[in-house]
Structure 1
Amino acid sequence: MDVSLPTTPAAEALALRYGPDAVPAAGPWNEHIALLLTHRSVRGYRPDALPAGTLETLIAAAQSAATSSNLQTWSVIAVTDSDKKAALAKLANNQKHIEQCPLFLIWVADISRNQRLGQQEGVTLEVMPYLETFLVAAIDAALAAQNATVAAESLGLSCVYIGALRNQPQEVAKVVNLPSGTFGVFGMCVGYATEAALGEVKPRLPQEVIVHHEAYRVPDDEAQRRSAYDGLIGGFSARNEMATDTWTKRVIGRMGKLAALSGRDKLVATLHAMGFELK
């Protein structure tokens, strides 16, 4: 197994990430940064088993992420059972890569462990019902998952996040026996990519659109910059045999109609039912 890190020169890696016309100035560089810039979502996996101890390594990396006040309000469910993966795939719009990957991780916002701590110590934890507590747990889970992704990619593995688990979170909870006070924030496929699925690095918005110095400022030429990025994404889609589309149309398609939320417009009520009061 080849676990060597990418050695892509900075200029080349930045051009792949931003396109040739929006390459930012190259700064300090190392193999770790090169690895980060090669990230791409992978939706096709070989059936190859992962090396022994891979899960433990990924979780050690995940637990090394920042966690607010060391509260550690997240958990993860490691799923390898084919029947459970099939059930989860069905709940997530039939995404077949959930069934293909040898390891599927569900990253959980988990206040239940600390709720039990309070009960065992006979203490009322007054902050538990508040939105901030759920937000901390969701952010903790996301930070941990990203650490795990970087670790996996450094080992020659590929990943893709599965936000569609939030379409039917209560049904997901039944599949993996989540208690009250827990919520599957997203899933993650982990495995070896098929050659066809690896694809190229997807360009991102230019840094000038994302970075604001000292204060937020909307650029006068925002529409023109967006148009240029639309062209870049259109080319990417065509080369990778994806539905040719612009970023503008993608945003409108995903955010223009409630139907695009696939049931997630009811998340507040769902979270209440799953033990998060969200005051």
Structure 2
Amino acid sequence: MNDTIQILLQHRSIREFKERPLTREELQTIIQSAQAAPSSSFVQAYSIIGIRDPQKKEQLAELAGNQPYVAQNGHLLVFCLDLHRLSLAAELEGVSVEKTLTALQSVETFMVGVIDAALAAQNAVVAAESQGLGTVYIGGLRNRLPEVVELLKTPERVIPLFALCIGEPAQPSAVKPRLPMAAVYHEEEYTEDQAHTELLQAYNAQMSRYYAERTEGKRAEGWTAGIAKQLKNPKRLYMKEFLGSRKLPLE
């Protein structure tokens, strides 16, 4: 097993970082690695906003649900869907925004940008972890997007998707067990049978033990219980309306 595979298999989220800012060299390596990720049709429909300012980090931490590690880390990266740059590219070629609206407002273009940003971010995670740094994704950034875009001054058609905290780990964290490979990987066609349910039940038991050990018995729910709870309490239902307000009425 090579070093890269070991890094991937040992991934864990870090939520406590030492008070050491990333060096310029570390940050440059991470950003360049992110940019090296694949991009659909090479549109590169994302941007990354780096946050060093402690006050701005504190504001983002509050907007993300008062998560302290959003403020206390070596560097904070905000990954954004960026279709604004695509419209600029079209204008440079003499194509008006009006003629590009069908493409800019399509679900497909939106998906391309989101996927591009996610691929770039995961490259950044691997690059950071290969340097001995820790990371954690912050989806809570979408809790209050109108305030986030105002704070970050993102133009229309540039949507902050998630943040990534990076820094030197201050405390070790255990690798969280993933679903069994047999529950995720299908050959030739999607297979759903009793065995799939049995796999989930076995995984429930594994996750229950993991949480119980990690929380000293304060939490011991299985995976499916956590998923059911999330589905009963849907989040961020304002998102479609918000995207429309940013000139992204998806069609």
1:12 aligned residue: none
Alignment of 1:50-65 (within 5 A): 50-65=22-37
Match for 1:172: what amino acid? V
Q: Find 1:49's aligned residue among 18, 21, 27.
A: 21
Identity %, equivalent residues: 36
Equivalent residue for 1:257? 233
Write out aligned runs for 1:1-279 (5 A): 29-123=1-95, 124-125=99-100, 126-195=102-171, 198-241=172-215, 243-258=219-234, 261=235, 264-279=236-251
How far residue 191 of structure 1 moved from its aligned partner, in angstroms, is 0.3
Post-superposition offset of 1:222: 2.4
Aligned AA (2:68): K
- 1:46 and 1:101 in contact (8 A); partners too: yes
Distance 1:270 1:66 in 2: 28
Question: TM-score of the superposition, structure 1-length normalised?
Answer: 0.85
Q: For 2:26 and 2:247, locate their aligned partners in 1 and report how far apart those are by CA, in whole Å.
A: 32
Q: Helix, strand or coil: the match of 1:100?
A: coil
Deviates more, 1:39-48 or 1:215-224: 215-224
* Alignment coverage as a number of residue pairs: 245
Give the drift of 1:120.
Answer: 3.3
Distance 1:164 1:278 in 2: 22
Counterpart Cα distance in 2 of 1:109 and 1:230: 35
- Cα RMSD of the aligned pairs, angstroms, is 1.2
Contact 1:199-1:240 at 8 Å conserved across structures: no
Cα distance in structure 1, aligned partners of 2:247 and 2:150 = 14
The normalised TM-score by structure 2 is 0.94
Q: 1:170: Cα distance to partner?
A: 1.6
Q: Please, which runs of 5 or more residues in structure 2 have no aligned partner?
A: none
Give the secondary-structure state (helix, strand or coil) at the position aligned to 1:160: strand
- Structure 1: which 5+ runs fail to align? 1-28
